[in-house]
Chains A and B, each alone.
Chain A
Amino acid sequence: MPTFKTLWIAVLFCSDAQGAYLPSSNKPVALGVGNIAAFKSNPFAANNHPGTLAFANKNSLSLGVESLFLVEGLNMACLSWNYRLNKRQILGLGYNFFGHSAYNESMAKIAIAQKLSPVFGAGLSLDYFRLQLPSENFGVKHLLSIEAGIYASLSSNIDFALHVLNPFRPRIGEYMDERLPFVVNATILYKPNKNAIIASEWHQIMNEKGQLRAGVIYKVSEKMSLRGGAYFKPINLGFGFTYCARNLSVHFDFAMHPYLNLSSAAAITYTSTNESQDF
């Protein structure tokens, strides 16, 4: 069990490097693609991007784990369930957990997304956030927040996605008026051909420096896709792959931080049908 001080320093580093509170960056599949989650194929859309959830074309259940910087105690787990209510509406349920018994953050989400046209979808998520710190200093905090996202195909090969988190910035503590950060992710995606997609994302926490992210996914075959990406300042490189076997898919991702070492993630997804999912 690492000391609390070690963990807390690591948490602060993570927050700075990842540019968001940790549950928001709990993205097993996104880790290998520069932390960009705005892909239609992201099985954790309910957790990471309600806009792309609108384009999930099958029911799925995903479970992922992530280990940050090989530090014991900086592990995360997440669960995501996408359920198609009808041809246009998707219900998403997500759960994230980060930390250990002394300090942990967990988030439960319920998202509803709708495809408003073949090229445009929007989603809204209600988030419950629970934060636990040693009781003598902080105690347990319960917060409610919202997320919203859109995904639009602007032309046959250019898409745009926007994700807004915590626009009302719920207050975590009185001291220093600490609040959940207001985060905006704007993503432009370019499909040079039917097997590849290139994405560039601007990640912005209000009143802080923004971060540029870039990534690419390449579908080697119907069963296998590779991905790679980076986010900058400091540059953090990542790569990953997904392998599909009938209704099951497995995802492995790795990312290298220049100062904080390696992070890795693994996830498994079960889908109701084995029809292919668009990027």
Chain B
Amino acid sequence: MNHKIFNLGLIIFIGLVFYSKPSFSQSDEEQLKELERYIETRDQSADYNDLQDFLILKPDAFLDINKATYLDFLGINGINAECVKAILNHRRLYGAFVSLLELQTIDAITFESLQLLKRYLTLDSKDLYFKTLWPILKKSDKEIMLKISTSRPLAIGYMPLGNDSVPKYLGSPNAYQLRFRAKVNQNIWYGFNAEKDEGEDFFSAKNRQGFDFYSAHFFIAKRGLIKKIAVGDFQANFGQGLTMSSGLGLGKSAYVLNVKQNNSGLRPFRSFNETQFLRGVGLTVDLKKFESTLFVSRHKIDATLNTIDRDGLLSDGISSLVNTGWHRTDLEKSKKNAVLKVLVGHNLSYKFKTLSLGLVNVYHAYDKPILQKTKLYSQYYFSGKSYLKSGLYFDYWLKNVNFFGETCLSSFNVNGYLVGGIMSLAGDLDLVMVHRNYSKTLNGDGLNSFSENSNSNNEVGTYFGFVFKWAKKRTFSCYVDRYASPWYAFNVDGQGRGTDFLAEYNLKPNKSTVLYVRFKHKLELENNEIGHFNELNFTEKYSFRMHAEAKINPVLSLKTRIEFSNYLIPKNTFSGNMIYVDFIYHPNSVNFSATTRLSFFNVDDYSARIYALENDVLYTYTVVGLSGSGAKIYGILKYKYKSLNLQMRYSFIRYYDRSTIGSSYGTVNSKHLHEINFLIGYAFD
């Protein structure tokens, strides 16, 4: 975003701030729990704010409980057919719902289903009516917040090293996030984000625009011919994410049944993820049974540029796309906004009774050619400046069975398909099966379909899962996923294959207590230790977790977890364990809450690392992969006074098996690390 747009945004933003009345929305513990179950089995740390939006922000999914149809209800991820039938039966027998709390009286609705339904259902579906924009903007709920983070001791990147007289990191060790969000009912969202990561420069000679990253969005969703309008930064997800899906997608998780991507087209982008979003305009038109979406995105992205010798010809191009979002050193800054990316897409969908069909076309173009065929496994990656992808997807309900799928074709001969079905049997047992076949040439941007790897390509696999519930208190979930990679893949110099298994027994003896045990096992072929070409060995990773949470008095909750992990390679085994205890103090009468976690971990090696989601200040979620031997404690204080929201998080980690923390310029020459986050927010109308 250039300087003028930024200044204009700032002026609008400041103007809005002065039209204010108090009100504030806050994320709760339930959202955190749900997010954790989605992301905890992923072996990666990332900015999950956008994924949270993906789960909770459904611009067109707000349903009137007294008008919603069978299919409307089924569109809610996690709600099965038996549950929907029970709601419709209740409505038929007792008439219209007078409160959403009535849902609690329906036996078939579990506590989790109730939480989901409450999120998407309403009793008042009156649509926003407006003639001019200004009254709407005045009417909106707005919040502005600033988050400041820092850590000590400082990493070596902040100090002069060797013969260098200046530090490698250009900026200070403080990170800043400025966020402005506003919304009007479930119809209009607009906002503005600005971020500077730790180590990045801020209003310096090399960065006169101040923050390192800016994002702004304006989004309207309403009933009528014009259904959605997106201006600025937004996300676009269609079908099963095989052809077009920006942002982070859902994959395998402890929600065994939630493998289907209920993509809802356009939605606003509100996170600080610096790479996975679209910037431009989008429009969705509702033509009753047909719905048409057109979107255009144009923005610069980070990339490593290189000159590559291809068949004797030297050519400049993109050797890799960079998605870290770090711009702390001169080298990292040299990759910033190195490539212009243009994306034009169109989606046409058709709904008839229980059948939905969709056709999506996306054209990707770069101002420099992509030259990624530097490794054996990347030989079939796309290379060139532009390509067109087309996908056809469907969603069909046949009684209690939901079939879904998508296939994708492209101008550079990519192809792949995914088909799946979710079946609800008598309310107690739900089954799910997904088969996918992604060719080795299927790659590029906008792939978030169900897969084992982060890239949906070079994979053939079948996933089978079931959830069995009994006595309303007990749930047993299980999945098995068998997959193979026909072509070479990263760290797999040959034809790879593997099996992923998860089993969880969940017990809820009462409303405030949750207990579960989980076993996860993964067996797959990887390169052997020595790295001999084409010598693959099976590696095995399994983990066992015991988790409990309970309310121990009206204001204090306790959450505890013990987890063991093992990573087995030929002739070696690495093991680890982690114990944590959370205390959550939340008195009902005051606007104050405190959370603290004590965690202890002993993990032999990074390969056996144990992931845990840590609570943080508002809109921040940290997934940490714990390895080594150490202890960590963090505490969060949250205080709300009228419209003012103050939050602080302090964390301290101490290692017993090492004298340095981190790597490269981020290395800290110490056994311990202190981190502090401070957030100040203000809400107004």
Contacts and interface: CB of A to CB of B under 8 A. Distances in A.
Nearest to A188: B546
Nearest to B509: A155
Given A167-B631, A186-B579, A188-B546, A206 B656 contact: yes
Contact of B577 (A119, A164, A210): A210
Interface stretch (B391-399, B410-418, B483-491, B547-555): B547-555
A69 interface: no
Contacts of A206: 600, 602, 629-631, 656
Nearest to B576: A210
A210 B513 CA distance: 28
A117 B562 contact: no
B457 to A, nearest CB: 40
Interface in A248-268: none
B99 interface: no
Contacts of B515: 154-155, 158
Interface string A155-197: 1101010101001000000000000001010101000000000
A152 B579 contact: no
Contacts of A155: 509-510, 513, 515, 550
Interface in B208-232: none
A128 interface: no
Contacts, number: 76
Nearest to A159: B548
A207 interface: yes
A12 interface: no
B579 A202 contact: yes
A170 B629 CA distance: 17
B553 A116 contact: yes
Contacts of B546: 188
A207 B602 contact: yes
B275 interface: no
Interface in A133-163: 150, 152-156, 158, 160, 162
Main SS class of interface, B: strand
A270 to B, nearest CB: 32
A120 B581 CA distance: 13
A178 B572 CA distance: 29
Contacts of B549: 154
B556 A154 contact: no
B121 interface: no
A204 interface: yes
A116 B656 CA distance: 32
A165 B581 CA distance: 15
Interface in B175-205: none
Interface in B571-620: 577, 579, 581, 598, 600, 602
A116 B581 CA distance: 16
Contact of A120 (B556, B602, B629): B556
Interface in B544-571: 546, 548-550, 552-553, 556, 558, 560, 562
A207 B555 CA distance: 36
Interface in A203-247: 204, 206-208, 210
B577 A117 contact: no
Contacts of A156: 509
A155 B513 CA distance: 7
B551 to A, nearest CB: 9
Interface of A: 116-117, 119-120, 150, 152-156, 158, 160, 162, 164, 167, 182, 184, 186, 188, 202, 204, 206-208, 210
6 contacts: A120-B552, A155-B550, A162-B598, A206-B631, A207-B602, A210-B577
Given A155-B513, A202-B562, 6 more contacts: A152-B552, A155-B509, A164-B598, A186-B579, A188-B546, A206-B656
